[in-house]
Amino acid sequence: MKAIFVNPPFKAEYGRFARENRSAAITRSGTLYYPLWLIYAAAVCEQDGFEVSLLDAPAFPLGEEESLKWVRDHGGAVAKLFVIDTSTPSIYSDMAFGDRLKQLYPNAFVMLVGTHPSALPEETLSRCRGVDAVARHEFDYIVRDVARALRDGEDPLCVRGLTYYAAGGEIASNEDYPYVTDLDDIPFASAFVKRHLNYRDYFFSASAYPEIQIFTGRGCPARCAFCVYPQTMHGHGYRVRSVLNVIEEVEYIRDNFPDVKEIVIEDDTFTINKKRTVEFCEEMIARGLNKRFRWLCNARVNLDYETMAMMKKAGCKLIIPGIESGNQEVLNNIRKGTKIEQVRQYVADAKRAGLAVHACYMVGNKGETPETMRQTLDLALELDTDTAQFYPLLPFPGTEEWRWYKEAGYIHGDYCDYVKEDGTINSLVELPNISSEEMVRFCDDARRTYYLRPKYIAHRIVSGLRDPEDLKRSLKAFGNIKSFLFKK
């Protein structure tokens, strides 16, 4: 039986839309994430014996008609199942694409997956004309069980984790599908990429090119009020692959992608378990993989110097913390669970260990004022990390922040307003003392202030002379972002 997985087109005329980004958008740096959650679900189905194809339309990028032609050319007429990825900014386009597929292939089962339908399943389905169901939360095995039901002549609407139209036209929801506990059973994403995608289509601005992205765990024990994936898809329990399973995938990448230079570990909190992090590093060193690959990961600011030093020895090049704000009250309001002094120590320890830091900052949270935004920029300039990003808050459906802002009447606009017309990040939060336009302008100005400092430019040149791969990725990212940096 044939199943087709689609990361559908969205604003293809402007660039490559990154649904997998925690703030889905066309990024200024040109970063394009692999559609990893769609890849894992497709790999599970393929492992179960189904014939699968996966279209990542933003990787080309393709428009709607080109994407529909791709589907037709890759077995659309015989496919029994279509799985459509979604995001909040693109949800109207995603639903319309699902409806088009149902019109063209009325005998197939069409379902939507992702954070948005997980957060708002009834609303999402009610706005579709032809989509059969939406999957809630982790969908690897939901999709597999739907495929099994279609193959075996059973009712796919009985599968756990689905929201669907019941008899009489009412919307019904089955019980939740349990979270995946044995992640070693999930096939390697890199092996699926090898068979079905072109890894050179993807770019991560903080890494050497080309790179491969993988997950080694799911869920996040932190309770940050704004973070979308733990609150809509994976929960707060951090479940992990065994260290040996992850190392086996690293070795697979070594043997099958001879020119891949870096591995991006996309876990929300890869370093949350110090013992596991050290074990991973020890295996990388023991097998000589630290000499073959550089790697990066997301790492909260409670990471200690000793672990950082081990990570550096094991080939880690860069760590990514969510610093978010330079004001402690704001950090408390968003349940970040970190202290400003802790952030300073973290960055100092990273520099001492020889690790680069990509710092993430955000404005527009509860308690934000023009003064606290200035404090955030001041902290960013003080820390002077290797790279930094500045985003306005995007309160996504299903998060604590979204519920609070919605009830307070601070969200003005629709889902399509999460991005600008060109697909880059927008803001639809209107605080009593700060407008959405002011937040977006502040982030643009902060980015220019940060990256156009003579001190920073000199640092990038020196770093590039020491590390040619760093120079290449800096030039590639700068080529994408320069029009925004110099825009008045």
Domains for the chain: give ranges and CATH numbers: 2-173 (3.40.50.2300), 205-485 (3.80.30.20)
Q: What is the DSSP code string of 88-148?
A: STTHHHHHHHHHHHHHH-TTSEEEEESHHHHHSHHHHHHT-SS--EEE-S--HHHHHHHHH
pTM, entire model: 0.94
Calpha distance 10→24 (Å, rounded) = 11
Q: Quick one: pLDDT band at residue 480, thresholds 50, 70, 90?
A: low
The residue assigned the tokens 């393709």 is 62
Q: Average the pLDDT over 229-246 and give the result.
A: 96
> pLDDT digits over 182-215, tens only?
999 999 999 999 999 999 999 999 999 999 999 9
Q: Could you identify the residue written with the tokens 């939360």?
A: 137
Q: Sorting pLDDT into bands at 50, 70 and 90, what band is 53? A: very high
Average pLDDT over residues 218-229: 96
Q: Kind and range of the H or E element at 327?
A: none
Checking if the pLDDT of 179 tops 90, the result is yes
What integer pLDDT is reported at residue 487 of this predicted model? Answer: 58
Give residue 484's pLDDT: 52
Structure-model confidence comparison of residues 269 and 126, the more confident one: 126
Name the phi and psi angles at 191, rounded to 5.
-65, -35
Separation of first and last alpha carbons in the chain:
54
